[in-house]
Amino acid sequence: MRIAGSVLVIAVVCTSGTWGQPPAFEVATVKVNRSGEGRSSYPQLTNGRMTAHNATLRMILRSAYGLSALQINGPDWMDSDRFDLDAKSPPGVPDSELMPMLQSLLKERFQLAAHRETKEMPVYPDCGKRWPQGRAL
């Protein structure tokens, strides 16, 4: 069985100019994390701040666009390279505006372009496998 779902496709492109002033963080730092540390923190978007430690680009994109990992396609490095992010929104900006601000930050710092498309995907990718003996569904 297959189902159509929303998929975010990421492409690395060079852009020039914008059509309007996108929402932006007041202060933001993006650093490559080469510590080799196993732990990472999923990006947190609360109280006017966005923080992530040792996060992959896929993790950051999931937070920015509200999608699952399977809904994001892109280059292999987005699962291997790690980043530390820390950003603060201007005073009075509600948390509901942090996702668009993170999207703008990704476009600016990573030169990423994203588009949504509908794609047919398997609903139960492992439906052909047999369940182990004695195990109930």
pLDDT digits (tens, 9 = 90+) for 28-84: 999 999 998 889 988 988 889 999 999 999 999 999 999 988 888 889 999 999 999
Beta strands in 13-95 (DSSP E): 27-32, 41-46, 49-56, 72-73, 82-88
pLDDT of residue 125: 57
Q: pLDDT per residue over 2-31, tens digit each?
A: 444 444 554 433 333 345 667 899 999 999
87-104 average pLDDT score: 91
- Pairwise pLDDT comparison (98 vs 4), residue with the higher score: 98
Around Cβ 37, how many Cβ atoms within 10 Å? 10
Amino acid at 122: P
